[in-house]
Homo-oligomer: A and B are copies of this chain.
Amino acid sequence: MIVWHQGALRPLEAVRIDPTDRGLALADGLFETMKARDGRVLHLERHWARLAEGARLLGIPLPLDETGLAAAARELLLANGWARGDAAVRLTLTRGPAPRGLLPPERPTPTLVMTAFACPEPLPPARAVLVKGVRRNELSPASRIKSLAYLDQILALREALAAGGDEAILCNTQGRLACASAANLFLVIEDRIWTPALSEGALPGIARALLLERARAQGLLAVEGELPRHLLARAREAFTTNVLTGVRAIASVDGFLFPEPCPGPLTRRLAELLESA
């Protein structure tokens, strides 16, 4: 496995992250997980925009620009034999090594590392669990950037697995629906597609944005809003979106099946819409 690290391609074994790196020590950083096709990252400009917004919010200087990111990702994909077909790239940006303590250094030396890997296979319909033990914190700006602080999502997924499910649905601090473990959440109620608003703690997912745009362009009613938990009982279909795995139907929540056969008709249609170029 060849890794892109601080401007150079190196074997994984030769890439050293310093134990004092603030990404490791304090989750002081960001990441992006990007789908690539035939050696090029898809929707690179959207990933770049989200990364740049996160870096601005955290005050981490970006060590490259959008063109540099495209070139680096391409080099990485080619070096790992992904010149053709689907693959994925994970980018991790941290504030870099620093002395102990919360106070960020005045002149950080950011760490930027990228790995390439096979694109995950499409997932079977999810058996979701409405998580009780942890809430998504929509009252932190970190809920709106793709930060390294993913522990709440891991706790949620662990709870779902322990309950016999394979995906978590998280509520925000107000008890309203927020997101899935590493994906955005959508419900189909009557003829509308609903998804939690960004202000509800939903990450601004790339697949989420694409799906909303494309659904609306088709004349479908797609609404971002405040979704009380009890709306789950009114949904005919439900699904998640993630840029790597696309649309994933949700078969059940806490064992209760949705009325439509899974995947439902609108879920299928939207999955195709998201797949289209």
Question: Chain A interface (Cβ within 8 Å of chain B)?
Answer: 3, 5, 12, 15-21, 23-28, 31, 33, 57-59, 88, 90, 92, 94, 99-104, 113, 115, 117, 120, 133-135, 137, 139-142, 147-155, 157-158, 173, 181-182
Contacts and interface: CB of A to CB of B under 8 A. Distances in A.
Nearest to A28: B154
Contacts of A18: 12, 15, 17
A17 B21 contact: yes
Contacts of A154: 26, 28, 58, 102, 104
A48 B56 CA distance: 37
Given A33-B100, A173-B173, A151 B28 contact: yes
Contacts of A115: 19-20, 100
A87 to B, nearest CB: 12
A12 B17 contact: no
Given A135-B137, A139-B135, A102 B182 contact: yes
B20 A21 contact: no
- CB-CB nearest 8 A-B residue pairs: A135-B139, A27-B27, A137-B137, A149-B149, A173-B173, A26-B150, A17-B17, A16-B16
B150 A142 contact: no
Contacts of A5: 19
A141 B137 contact: no
A101 B113 contact: no
Contacts of A155: 57-58, 140-142
A16 B14 CA distance: 9
Contacts of A57: 155
B148 A26 contact: yes
A24 B23 contact: yes
